[in-house]
Amino acid sequence: MTQHNKAPYLIFGSLVLAWGLAWPISKIGLMDMSPIWYSAARFFIGIVAALIFLTLSKQLKAPKRQDLPFILSIGLFQMAAYLMLLNWGLNYVGAGRAAILTYSTPIWVTPIAILFFGEKLNLMKSLGLVLGVAGMFALFSPWSFDWTDARVVEGNLILALAAVVWAGVIIHTRFGKWHSEPIVLLPWQMLLAGVATLVTALIVEPNPEPNWTPSLIATLLYNGLAATAFGFWASIVVTKSMSVVTSSIGFLGVPVVGLVSSVIFLGEELTVGLGLALVLIMAGMLAMTKGNNVQ
């Protein structure tokens, strides 16, 4: 393997680590700033970094008119709505559990694709659905989830909604028609997401009172630069450089890193139910990935 061929794998490993660590880091940052303003600040840091990088690398281009559906879909839903829901849910749910729950997205994608887009259900997809549903049951079973705590229930429902929103965007990107390279649309999607998040923050919470601690600033810089600007760019490089199977399997590492780092840095408890849910959901996603590549 040449040095050139190693580059996508190094980028991919950095991406999985960056997105996995973002869960406990975000949890720390949300101690000093409300979820909606934290989302807005993270986006604008990422936007500035992305615009500088794309300008210097001469990749900044105006989008085509036909690109508007993907700018709206990814900018408003996958970026803005997903991140606001994610940070909102993190207020009530442990970072490790949140990482597992929001990465259950393929479990929602497969039945939607089958019911509304005529995608065929084969043996591996069926196995993946069964494993995924079993994982969700383990995640919300009475022995691993406190159904009497209204705030915890609310937080988990919000995170599940985030996963469904992401699933809808995946369906659009899978069955929609692209007119430009994803890297061309990225800054415009991020800009739309940032503006939408800021407007929402000004309406919902016009007088924010963040506690500007060094840890808050550090977490915002990390999430804005590493998880947002680098993360979105790296995800495009990975999906263009690797097979769908390789990238899909690799992304399974994100919730694993999220869970392990939350246990290490936040002292969150790794329960049997949580561990079982992680294994079942990841196995389900792996089966679905293989099923999607069966001709």
26: CB partners within 8 A, 6+ apart: 38, 86, 87, 90, 95, 219, 223
**C-beta atoms surrounding 53 within 10 Å:** 15
5: CB partners within 8 A, 6+ apart: none
Compute the Cα dihedral for 123, 254, 23, 69 and give only its sign. negative
Q: What was the pLDDT predicted at 244?
A: 61
What are the tens digits of pLDDT across the range 231-279? 988 888 887 777 666 666 778 889 999 999 999 999 998 888 889 999 9
Domain that holds residue 82: 3-292
Mean pLDDT over residues 61-73, rounded? 90
Q: What was the pLDDT predicted at 121?
A: 78
Look at residue 216 and tell me whether its pLDDT is greater than 60.
yes
Q: How many domains does the chain have?
A: 1
Look at residue 1 and tell me whether its pLDDT is greater than 50.
no
Burial category of 294 from C-beta neighbours within 10 Å (exposed 0-12, middle 13-18, buried 19 and up): exposed
pTM of the model: 0.87
Q: Provide the Cα torsion 166, 171, 172, 173; round to 10°.
A: 90
Look at residue 104 and tell me whether its pLDDT is greater than 90.
no
Q: What was the pLDDT predicted at 181?
A: 80
Q: How far apart are CA 295 and CA 292, in angstroms?
A: 8
Phi, psi of 177 (to 5 degrees): -105, 120
Look at residue 85 and tell me whether its pLDDT is greater than 50.
yes
Q: What was the pLDDT predicted at 201?
A: 95
Q: How far apart are CA 123 and CA 269, in angstroms?
A: 35
Per the CB < 8 A criterion, the answer to whether 60 and 181 are in contact is no
